[in-house]
Each structure stands twice: as structure tokens, then as C-alpha cells.
């Protein structure tokens, strides 16, 4: 999931590496349930919002169906 930071904070996009996430910058979390949880955590904390025009990634089954 892609998020837009509204504040600069120390945080993680993969659940392992902590780094400075800068205000005004868009970040992609890892493409996994953990990444989605981290994105939602940053949003719930009020330090990020969903990036405009982006939502959570589609489940793999839907992606496979689109390719057929």
C-alpha cells in the first residue's frame, strides 16, 4: 500500500528496518499483510494518509484473473 507522510517520524515500511519517513514523501510498504498493517498503523497514528489514487494491492487471485 502506498502512503503519503503528513509528518516526519521514525518508522518502518517492512516491519524490520526503522528509518526516518519524511513529511510530504510517498512510500510503498512491503506487498504483504505485514506491509498493509504497517500502512494502516501509520494512518491510524495520524502521521500518514493513503496516497492519492492508490489503495491496498489486489489479492493475488484477482491479479491472476485479470491476466487471463
Give the global pTM.
Answer: 0.72
* Rounded distance between C-alpha atoms, residue 42 and residue 20, angstroms: 13
CA 66, 28, 38, 24 torsion-angle sign: negative
Instruction: Give residue-wise pLDDT tens across range 14-36.
Output: 889 999 999 999 999 988 999 99
Instruction: Please state, for a pLDDT cut of 70, what percent of the chain lies above it.
Output: 78
Q: What's the pLDDT band for 54 if we cut at 50, 70, 90?
A: low
Q: What's the pLDDT band for 63 if we cut at 50, 70, 90?
A: very low
C-alpha angle 12/15/20, rounded to 5°?
A: 15
Amino acid at each position: 500500500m502506498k502512503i503519503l507522510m503528513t509528518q516526519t517520524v521514525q518508522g518502518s515500511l517492512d516491519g524490520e528496518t526503522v528509518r526516518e519517513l519524511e513529511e510530504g514523501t510517498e512510500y510503498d510498504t512491503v506487498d504483504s499483510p505485514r506491509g498493509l498493517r504497517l500502512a494502516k498503523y501509520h494512518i491510524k497514528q495520524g502521521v500518514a494518509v493513503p496516497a492519492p489514487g492508490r489503495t491496498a494491492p489486489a489479492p493475488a487471485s484477482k491479479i491472476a484473473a485479470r491476466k487471463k
